Amino acid sequence: MKILIASRNPHKIREISEIFMLPSLEFAGLDQYPGLPEVLENGATFQENAVKKAMTLALATRQWTMADDSGLEVDALDGEPGVRSARYAGEPSDTAANNRKLLMALAGRATRSARFRCVIALASPSGRTQLVEGSCEGVVLTESRGTGGFGYDPLFQPAGYAATFAEMDAGEKNRISHRAAALRRALDAWGRMLASNPAEWCADRRFGKLRPEPDPG
């Protein structure tokens, strides 16, 4: 069975394949489906963006489709930058400018707790959708550390670790990241269904009722 991943990032597709590790599943990226519509991620929440991408592409391809949306939530900033994480400093997306804006917004703040969140949506070929999510708690530092990763990784120190995401090797980061947590929940929620007969699950409505599953933290 083929599942479309709403991404052109080969690293993300490989990460999903490695976590699911089900021989009956084949994962394909957007590059294998030329001519698909661009999906504008203009939702107010991660959930809205993930569902919109998964549902739009599932209906366009008639394939089971998995899509995600993620970002950084800072408690002292009432959850910002949130869904605007990639565009926090404006368009076009500029990582350095985003990080500078975040540091300025937190200047002088004693509370710097934050989390990366990832929401994953799975849509059936008829557009019926479910959600899971994962998170990684931590703090935003007062200065960047490390050269790896991307985005806010040099500023984010996960709880229980001395290193930032940007100071970790890819393997360590991927074990504890918000996306890895969400993918493990996706495997628990959907793995057996996808590896058996998803058409039967849709027929008896065990799949398809939009059901966000909060991260247990």
- Could you give the CA distance from residue 52 to residue 68 in angstroms, rounded to a whole number? 10
Question: What's phi and psi for 66, nearest 5 deg?
Answer: -115, 130
Q: How many Å apart are CA 208 and CA 11, to the nearest integer?
A: 28
> Is 215 noted as a catalytic residue in this protein?
no
pTM above 0.85, yes or no: yes
Pick among 3.90.950.10, 3.40.50.20, 3.20.20.140, 3.30.1360.120: CATH of 2-203: 3.90.950.10
pLDDT (tens place) for every residue of the chain, 217 residues total: 889 999 998 878 888 888 888 888 899 999 999 999 899 999 999 999 999 999 999 999 999 999 999 999 999 999 999 999 999 999 999 999 999 999 999 999 999 999 999 999 999 998 889 999 999 999 999 999 999 888 999 999 999 999 999 999 988 998 999 999 999 999 999 988 888 866 666 654 556 654 444 344 4
Residue tagged active-site, from 68, 69, 153, 215: 69
The whole-number pLDDT of residue 206 equals 57
Q: Where are the beta strands (DSSP E) in the chain?
A: 2-5, 26-28, 64-74, 113-123, 129-140, 156-158
Distance CA 133, CA 46 (A): 10
The vertex-128 CA angle with 127 and 134, nearest 5°, equals 110
